Amino acid sequence: MDPLLYVLDLIVFIGIFGILALSLNLEFGFAGLANFGKVAFFLIGAYTYALLSQIGVPFYLCLIAGATLSAAFGLLISLPALRLRADYLAIAILTFGEILRLIVKSESWIAGGDWGISVSPAIAISGGSHRVDVLVNIGLVYFCLLICFVIAQLLANSPYGRVMRAVREDEVAAEALGKNRARYKAQVLMLGSAMAGIAGGLYAQYLQYVLPGMFMPMVTFTVWIMVLLGGPANNWGAVLGAVLVTLFDRGTNIAKDYLTLPIDPSNLQYILFGALIILVLLYRPQGLLKESPIKTKALESVKRERSVVKGKGS
Amino acid sequence: MAVNWAQVFFNSAITGSLYLIGAVGLTLTYGLSGFPNFAHAEFITLGAYIAYSVAAQFGLGPPLALVVAFLCTGIVGFLCYRGVFQVLAKRGATIIHLMVASIALGFVLRYSIGAAWGWEPLYFATVWPTSSLWSRHDIGSIAVTNLWLWLIFAAVALAVTMHFVLVKTKIGKAIRATSSNPELALASGINIQRVIWITWFLGAGLAAIAGVFRGADTRIWPMTGWDMILPMFAVVILGGIGNFYGAIAAAFIVGLAENVGVVALTAMGLSSTYRIGIAFLILIITLILKPQGLAMLFRRG
Domain interval for residue A88? 3-313
B289 touches chain A (CB under 8 A): no
Number of domains in chain A: 1
At A290, is the pLDDT very low, low, confident or very high (cuts 50, 70, 90)? confident
**Bigger pLDDT: A244 vs A128:** A244
Interhelix angle B170-180/B146-168, nearest 10 degrees: 80
Q: Could you say which residues from 250 to 279 on chain B have a Cβ atom under 8 Å away from some Cβ of chain A?
A: 271, 273-274, 276-277, 279
Choose the closest CB to A228 out of B100, B105, B279: B100
What pLDDT, on a 0 to 100 scale, did the predictor assign at position A312? 61
Which residue is closest to B278 within chain A, CA to CA?
Answer: A99
Mutate to test the interface with A, among B29, B42, B108 (most CBs of A within 10 A): B108
- E strands, chain B, are 136-139, 142-145
Distance from CA of B141 to the nearest CA of A (A): 31
B133 residue type, one letter? L
Residues of chain A in contact with residue B95, where contact means CB-CB under 8 angstroms, are 34, 85-87
Length of chain A: 314
Distance from CA of A217 to the nearest CA of B (A): 10
**Bigger pLDDT: B35 vs A158:** B35
Choose the closest CB to A87 out of B36, B115, B288: B36
Q: Could you say which residues from 173 to 202 on chain B have a Cβ atom under 8 Å away from some Cβ of chain A?
A: none
**Bigger pLDDT: A314 vs A80:** A80
At A313, is the pLDDT very low, low, confident or very high (cuts 50, 70, 90)? low
Would you list the DSSP string of B171-198? HHHHHHHHHH-HHHHHHTT--HHHHHHH
CATH of the domain at A257: 1.10.3470
Cβ-in-10-Å burial (0-12, 13-18, 19+) of B198 comes to middle
What pLDDT, on a 0 to 100 scale, did the predictor assign at position B301? 42
Number of domains in chain B: 1
Interatomic CA distance for residues A170 and B5, integer angstroms: 51
Choose the closest CB to A91 out of B104, B114, B233: B233
**Is the pLDDT at A299 greater than 60, yes or no?**
yes
Distance set, CA A153 to CA A167, B70, B247 (Å): 18, 51, 45
Distance from CA of B77 to the nearest CA of A (A): 16
B288 touches chain A (CB under 8 A): yes
Domain interval for residue B89? 5-298
Cβ atoms of B261 and B278 closer than 8 Å: yes
B105 touches chain A (CB under 8 A): yes
Q: Which of A54-68, A77-91, A257-271, B284-298 has the highest mean pLDDT?
A: A54-68
Interface of A with B (CB under 8 A): 28, 32, 34, 36, 80-81, 84-88, 90-92, 94-96, 98-99, 102-103, 105-107, 218, 221, 224, 228, 263-264, 267-268, 270-271, 273-278, 281-282, 285
Cβ atoms of B18 and B214 closer than 8 Å: yes
Helix (H) or strand (E) holding A209: strand A209-210
pLDDT digits (tens, 9 = 90+) for A73-127: 999 888 876 667 788 888 888 888 888 888 888 777 777 777 778 877 767 666 6
Cβ atoms of B71 and B80 closer than 8 Å: no
pLDDT digits (tens, 9 = 90+) for B163-193: 999 899 998 899 888 888 888 988 888 888 9
Question: Which residue pairs from B288-292 have beta carbons closer than 8 angstroms and sit at least 24 positions apart in sequence?
Answer: B288/A80, B291/A84, B291/A88, B291/B237, B292/B240
Residue-wise over A88-118: b if at least 16 C-beta within 10 A, else e?
A: bbbbbbbbbbbbbbbbbbbeeeebbbeebbe
Distance set, CA A104 to CA A131, A209, B214, B263 (Å): 32, 14, 27, 21
A216: helix, strand or coil:
coil
Range of lowest pLDDT (A30-34, A119-123, A201-205, B128-132): A119-123
∠ at Cα B260 (B258, B264), nearest 5°?
A: 110
What pLDDT, on a 0 to 100 scale, did the predictor assign at position A81? 66
Q: Which residues pair with A205 in a beta bridge?
A: none
Distance from CA of B216 to the nearest CA of A (A): 25
Q: Which residues pair with A210 in a beta bridge?
A: A117
At A284, is the pLDDT very low, low, confident or very high (cuts 50, 70, 90)? confident
Range of lowest pLDDT (B41-45, B54-58, B94-98, B296-300): B296-300
Range of lowest pLDDT (B99-113, B158-172, B212-226, B264-278): B264-278
A4: helix, strand or coil:
helix
Instruction: Give which of B231, B247, B244, B245 is closest to B281, Cα–Cα.
Output: B231
Interatomic CA distance for residues A297 and A284, integer angstroms: 31
Interatomic CA distance for residues B80 and B105, integer angstroms: 8
CB–CB contact A95 B104 (8 Å): no
Instruction: Give which of A203, A209, A271 is closest to A38, Cα–Cα.
Output: A203
Contacts A–B by Cβ distance under 8 A: 122
Mean pLDDT for chain A overall: 85
pLDDT digits (tens, 9 = 90+) for A6-31: 888 899 999 999 999 999 999 998 88
Choose the closest CB to B99 out of A34, A96, A267: A34
Residues of chain B in contact with residue A282, where contact means CB-CB under 8 angstroms, are 84, 87-88, 91
CATH of the domain at B224: 1.10.3470
**Bigger pLDDT: A228 vs A4:** A228
Helix (H) or strand (E) holding A46: helix A38-54
What pLDDT, on a 0 to 100 scale, did the predictor assign at position A287? 80
**Bigger pLDDT: A136 vs B15:** B15
Interatomic CA distance for residues B110 and A39, integer angstroms: 20
